[in-house]
Structure 1
């Protein structure tokens, strides 16, 4: 399971990189056309805002989470004893699962509604936007799967986490006196 999640997350990262390259190419061609031929590619701004940007931002979220590179604040975490660090990791992962599950659920409802309406942007040119709405629930769903794999790993590693800190100092020693 972990292998499959890693593969899919990596694929999403590569897809985001490909979309980014495609966006750069699209914009460069639009700028060249604008200055050399006094015309531009129709709907460039709408396609960039509704497709390229969404894909480059949300497709790699699972990859970032899998690598443990998401934003975190560990102001007090470094001072926690090992059992408290373990509990903080499990609690943080559980809360993240709940948060991303809610995001995946709501964005999937929004995507289905957008599909049912045939959502589009009506500017100088009509750009159909409903397909891009499905990027979010897919990305958030994959993050939930990554987090589920992580919490299973954390819960399985409970045997590796000592209940009493191994390198305790004299002050901590007095806390555990008489406890056997």
Structure 2
């Protein structure tokens, strides 16, 4: 399970970084072509808006979940015993998985609608419907991560395990920066 998380974390990081680099190269090439040759790359704004940015934003959600980088409110569990905190955390994971599955279902229905009509970007001919399928994929993946979190918490009885290493997550409030 932890190997899956490590591989997934690496894949999300590399894919997101590659999307950012390709986006930057595309934008720089567009700007240089527009400035030097008065020949901008057609559809650059639409490609950035409808392809690169959704990929970067959506892949960042499960990556943040894997790295425990989401904002969490621990009022209910920080003073509880570890077993009680684990129960509350498992409940929150199950609730999070259900919400993610609802988002995935909505995203899938919307993606199928856009595929059926051949959705394009506003007034240009840039095809955008395939990127809408990333929404259900990402939210199903996030639901799976929540379920894996719940399983690991149930097995270890630790309310906040590190999902990449399996050890209890370290929290150092004195050195945390915001």
Q: TM-score range by the shorter chain?
A: 0.7 to 0.9
Offset from partner CA, 1:67-112 (integer Å, 9 cap, x none): 2211212245322232331122111111111111111111111111
- The residue that corresponds to 1:81 in the other structure is 81
Distance 1:35 1:68 in 2: 43
Supply the RMSD in Å over aligned alpha carbons: 1.9
Equivalent-residue separation in structure 2 for 1:36 and 1:55 (angstroms): 30
Task: Choose 1 or 2 for highest CA Rg.
Answer: 1
What are structure 2's unaligned runs of at least 5 residues? 160-178
Q: What CA distance in whole angstroms lies between the structure 2 residues aligned with 1:6 and 1:100?
A: 21
Q: Which runs of 5+ in 1 are unaligned?
A: 162-180
Report runs of 4+ in structure 1 exceeding 6 Å deviation.
Answer: none
Cα deviation digits, residues 131-162 of structure 1 (max 9, x gap): 1101111111111111111111122234x79x
Normalised TM-score (structure 1): 0.80
Q: Does 1:155 align with 2:175?
A: no
TM-score by length of 2: 0.81
Q: Distance in 1 between matches of 2:78 and 2:37?
A: 59
How do 1:11-22 residues align onto structure 2 when only pairs under 5 Å count? 11-22=11-22
**C-alpha distance 65-117 of structure 1, shift in aligned 2 (>3 A):** same
